[in-house]
A and B are shown apart, each in its own frame.
Chain A
Amino acid sequence: MSNSMKQAVQRALVVAGLCVAGTGLAVAHHSYTTFDMQGQKVISGTVKKFDWTNPHSWLWLEAPNEQGVMETWGIEGMSPNYLARRGWSRSTLKPGDKISVTFHPLKNGDKGGSFVSAKRDTGEVLGMTGAITDP
């Protein structure tokens, strides 16, 4: 399989992974009691930084609030170890990327949450908890 084909397949699988996104996080590092796992919030903005780090990836998103003032949101995701076997890399999300992110918000009202999915302007949807793509 050519590299481009491989990438296409991986992208398809990342999208397919959304079928199970949000239905069962594989809990390794902590419980999810700090997040409102029943609630979801969607924010559209610009990727400021994507931390490809353990124990969690962190997506930092800049978005305007209702008054038009720019705010930074921190969205916790699965670890690079977990994501790399599911079609992600450290450059899947890059600074400057325009995305809308769906997440379970922090219960305490801080500007953060637990990643559910991200959608690009192109319509491409990214999930984190899909099937393993690396045989």
Chain B
Amino acid sequence: MQSTNRIVIGFLAGSLGFNAIGTAQKVTHAAPTAADWAALAKLPDLTGVWEVGLGGGGGAAAGGGRGAAPAAPAAAGRGAAPTPAPPAAGRGRGGAQGRGGPSLTPAYAAKAASPALNGDQSANCLPPGLPGIMSQPYPLEILMTPGKVTIISEAYTQVRHIYTDGRPLPADPDPTFFGTSIGRWEDGVLVIESVGFAEVPRGLSFPFSDKLRIVERLRLTDPDTLTIETTLIDPEALTMPYSMGSRTLRRHRNWTLAEYICEENNRNFVDQEGKAGVRLANPLASPK
């Protein structure tokens, strides 16, 4: 399928009335063929609307710094804190650390101890970035088309674009909420790799660097059950890959996604000092 997606690269000279010499790169993909669609039908069918269950693989449900993900050290004052562990300690299955929490490098453990870590900006309607967007208490819809898997999050009405056409990850991606993602199939498992993460709340309670890479493994375990295993790799912030564990999703064939426009009637806020509040004024001004 991917091989038939021929990539034609052309160059478009900038010549719109100015003398400035500029070139814009234009990438054109070949239209999918019947063979591409037929090849798609042979892959595990991940399409449809999925109820997101509890468990690992997405961090806190809220976009804020608190929640299910392991707490930051001392300053957060809660339970088993990640510590700058010696490199050999706590190594779990496959070299990824298990539920004990992320093992931070000394520099990032110090960062984590500072109190100003990712305010709860979701209260102001900013969606949480990856991986938090994958663990909201709202369904996800997965679409599969030649060369691409699309994940629609009902929460905040967000979209993730995962390119499966064989393109590489960008060397210098713009930092974004969901990163830039590519996917590949390994023995029936869709492996999604994402890079390029902006400093936004993403349901993680520890700091990350611009080297953060998130690997998600999507596996059908029975016809309507999907597990997503999420691993964070960050050579600057983590001494070893951090496995967030596995989250289970259940497919509902008769569900549809509903609209979720967060700005519609948002009465919650977090101010510049990080203080949360609720606006009760003008109840009759609500839109519906």
Q: Which residues in A have some Cβ–Cβ distance to B below 8 Å?
A: 26-31, 33-34, 48-49, 51-56, 58, 60, 72, 74, 76, 79-82, 84-85, 106, 108, 110-112, 132, 134-135
Contacts and interface: CB of A to CB of B under 8 A. Distances in A.
Contact of B62 (A29, A34, A51): A29
Interface of B: 51, 60-62, 64, 66-67, 120, 122-123, 125, 136-138, 154-155, 252, 254-255, 258-262, 264-268, 270, 276-278, 280, 283-284, 286-288
30 contacts: A27-B61, A27-B62, A28-B61, A28-B122, A28-B136, A28-B138, A30-B64, A31-B120, A31-B123, A34-B277, A51-B286, A54-B259, A54-B260, A55-B262, A55-B264, A55-B265, A55-B266, A56-B268, A58-B267, A74-B267, A76-B278, A79-B260, A81-B138, A81-B258, A81-B259, A82-B138, A84-B258, A110-B278, A134-B254, A135-B252
B137 A26 contact: yes
Contacts, number: 108
B262 A54 contact: yes
A53 B283 contact: no
A34 B283 contact: no
Contacts of B280: 74, 110-112
B276 A56 contact: no
A30 B268 contact: yes
A135 B254 contact: yes
A77 to B, nearest CB: 12
By DSSP majority rule, is chain B's interface helix, strand, loop, or mixed? loop
By DSSP majority rule, is chain A's interface helix, strand, loop, or mixed? loop
A29 B122 CA distance: 5
B288 A52 contact: yes
Nearest to B52: A26
B62 A30 contact: yes
A54 B261 contact: yes
A74 B280 CA distance: 7
A10 to B, nearest CB: 15
Contact of B278 (A27, A34, A80, A85): A34
A81 B286 CA distance: 17
Contacts of B255: 85, 134
B274 to A, nearest CB: 10
Given A54-B264, A55-B262, A76-B267, A27 B286 contact: no
A54 B286 CA distance: 11
A97 B154 CA distance: 31
B268 A53 contact: no
A106 B265 CA distance: 18
